[in-house]
Structure 1
Amino acid sequence: MSSTRLTHRAGTYGLLVPTILVLVVGMAYPLGRQLILSFQEFGRAQQFGQPAPFIGLDNYRELVTDRTMWAVISRSLAFCAVCASITMVLGTAFAVLMKAVSTVPRLTLQISMLLAWAMPVIAAMTAWQWLFDTRYGLVNWLLTKVGLSDFDDHNWLIEPLSFFFVAGVIVIWMSVPFVAFTAYAALSQVSEETLEASHLDGATAIQRFRHIIYPTIRPILTIVALLQIVWDLRVFAQINFLQNAGGTPSETHLLGTYIYSLGIGQNDYGAASAMAMFVLALTLVLTFRYVRSLLKEESR
């Protein structure tokens, strides 16, 4: 190997050093501290300054044999799968729509989604809480006006199924703009000449999307889907807000709120840390296929 290539490779790896240092400083200590906490037991004595004793894998054993934890995991995976799938479909559809319409409708749609995306979570949750309010909510009023008397003073948060319907609507509403904007940027890279040629050859819109557009934007959609899975799997603020607004925590906990209830609610930081490590491992398992596909695309 020539000295020029060695110098070039050394310079390339040298550029990675600052990034690696930032990652080590920003992530290694918190992750290592959390791992240590997962092997410790926290009780009343630790609240008065006593050191937490090491108990080995007891926290993990208790979690594995806890039916509540497996119910929370199943609930979280189902919620993540539904929300991420609908978000990706709607976001891609909006991106295609923005690409197809004229300037004024496109700008109107983009500004509307940008406002929804930029709205603070608490402000958005307050608005959604009013929409689904039992006595004064707009949703109940509209459903009652169209003849559905069962929705007069209906409580959307008391039942787990309707609770997660409301939570899913909110999470999807807040996530679609990111997918739409990213997919729209990817669509701008599709060759117009290729699309025009395929149209002249008689290809339908579905065929053009399937064989030309989708293969071009697939790497971007894969990254967005990966991020969406991670975000929806660890959703916290929306679920916690709705629980405080009238939901039943024991029946509506997802991974984020369950860890919070273990650590902050019960002061069991050891079990909470063990659960957090379990969620980290679960996230790596779920995203492994996507990461591997990204690596294959990069090698190509």
Structure 2
Amino acid sequence: MTTVDSELEPVPSAVSGERLTAPRPKPAGRPRRRQGGFTPYALLTPALIVLALIVGWPLIQLIITSFQKFGRAQVFGAPPEWVWLENYAKVLTDPVFYGVLSRTLVFAAACVVLTMLVGTLIALMMTRLPKTFRTLLSVGMLLAWAMPALTATVVWGWMFDTAYGVINHVLVNTFGLEEYFQHSWLIDPLSFFFVAGIIIVWGAVPFTAFTLYAGLTQVPDEVLEAAQLDGAGGFQRFRLIIFPYLKPVFLIVTILQVIWDLRVFTQIFALQDIGGIRALTSTLGVYIYQTSIAGGEFGQGGAIAVVTAILLMSISIYYVRQVTKEEEL
């Protein structure tokens, strides 16, 4: 016992009768200066200058134009007339604008939902495929993703062509649907957006699938195996394990898809040239072009563009705040 007692550390003096006192808080001083000093700001300065010239200056010019009466005469040198908020008043009281806006929001929401659903299913399938088939699928999606939007629209437009389209041919000769003989897909606005949605989702799915597949490779296999042994089904494992792990990835991809689909232009404009009715199928991007470039009302088109930019900036700010919250957790 004496040997053990001699090896014990001495008992703190507070236990032997002295009064315990809480440590005094450190006086609040100046916040610590981040390491690096001026160097990070100096390194960021060239990029900020280039960004201001490429993005900031055209945006300022757009805002200035939106406060002016700027038409074809001003393009050829006539001085513009300042009308201030008149262009915005015309836009915000125009029922055509609200029809285009609602059409754009509904179409973008449908494309985002389909893109995320199909992209998630393909990403989950890629985790189960053998390496050879996964490589072939990846190459196919890369080809679809690399194809220019205009080229893809022209190809899909020929597939849905009234007289020579393969879609009508298959529906009539394979499935016996005689009502689709020389059916015009682009005349009716609903079928027009059906075709446009296929083109947009087809081009957007590869990015979503690749991004989610990269996230799925980081989900621990031990957790999934344990859940499977506990009797959790495939949907339960996705809802309770995979989705919480990949929630930041899903959030980022979804918001990016919303921004991209709200400003879609090429696919809608090209399909309208093939056979769509512009007045019934225009989205915000095409409507801005028709008002400013085709219609010659650059001031009013600038006002529509500013309203669209505010809408996209609101979504972007929400995206940045959500990402920041995820990083702080």
Q: TM-score range by the shorter chain?
A: over 0.9
The residue identity in structure 1 corresponding to 2:187 is I
Which deviates further from its counterpart, 205-214 or 11-20?
11-20
Residue ranges of structure 2 left out of the alignment (5+ in a row): 1-28
Paired residues of 2:216 and 2:246 also in contact (CA < 8 A):
yes
Deviations 1:195-251 (A, max 9, x none): 222223332222221122111111112111111001100000000000000111011
TM-score (norm 2): 0.86
Q: Which amino acid aligns with 2:258?
A: I
Q: Does 1:179 align with 2:244?
A: no
Matched residues in 2 for 1:69 and 1:3: separation? Answer: 51
Question: What CA distance in whole angstroms lies between the structure 1 residues aligned with 2:32 and 2:39?
Answer: 11
- 2:54: which partner in 1? 26
The residue aligned with 2:280 is: 251
Give CA deviations for 1:176-212 in whole Å, capped at 9, x if unaligned.
0110011111111111222222223332222221122
Write out aligned runs for 1:84-103 (5 A). 84-103=112-131
CA distance in 1, matches of 2:260, 2:190: 21
Return the letter of the residue paired with 1:84: V
Corresponding residue for residue 284 of structure 1: 313
Deviation of 1:9 after TM superposition, in Å, equals 5.7
Displacement of 1:149 after TM fit?
1.0
Distance verdict in 2 for CA 1:42–1:183, change over 3 Å = same
Aligned-pair RMSD on alpha carbons?
1.8
State the secondary structure of the residue aligned to 1:257: helix
Offset, 1:287: 4.5
Q: 1:104 aligns with which of 126, 132, 153?
A: 132
Matched, 1:80 2:108: yes
Aligned amino acid, residue 91 of structure 1: G
1:293 correspondence with 2:322 = yes
- Tell me what 2:22 maps to: none
Equivalent residues in 2 for 1:56-67, closer than 5 Å: 56-67=84-95
Higher helix share: 1
Is 1:215 paired with 2:247? no
Corresponding position of 1:164: 193
How many aligned residue pairs are there?
Answer: 300
DSSP-derived class of the 1:98 partner: helix
Residue equivalent to 2:5: none
User: Quick one: structure 1 residues 115 and 4, their matched pair in 2 at CA, closer, same or farther if it must change by over 3 Å?
Assistant: same
Q: Check conservation: 2:71, 2:299, Cα contact below 8 A.
A: no
Alignment correspondent of 1:231 = 260
- Larger Rg belongs to: 2
Deviates more, 1:25-34 or 1:43-52: 43-52
Name the CA distance, whole Å, in 2 between partners of 1:117 and 1:6: 42
Q: In the superposition, relative to structure 1, how do residues 195 and 11 fare at CA in structure 2: closer, same or farther (>3 Å)?
A: farther
Partner of 1:113: 141
For 2:117 and 2:123, how far apart are their aligned partners in 1?
10
For residue 262 of structure 1, the aligned residue among 268, 291, 295 is 291
> Residues 35-85 of structure 1, C-alpha deviation per residue, up to 9 Å, x if partnerless?
000001023432431111111100000001111100000000000000011
Aligned CA distance change for structure 1 residues 224 and 207 (closer, same or farther; 3 Å): same
Q: How far did residue 111 of structure 1 move?
A: 1.1
Aligned partner of 1:269: which letter? F
The percentage of counterpart residues that share the same residue type is 45
Q: Which of the numbers 151, 154, 160 marks the counterpart of 1:126?
A: 154
Instruction: Name the CA distance, whole Å, in 2 between partners of 1:186 and 1:49.
Output: 54
1:95 & 1:13 partners in 2: Cα distance?
Answer: 40
Unaligned runs of 5+ in 1: none
Tell whether 2:202 aligns with 1:196.
no
How big is the shift at 1:4?
Answer: 8.5
Query: 1:154 aligns to what?
Result: 183
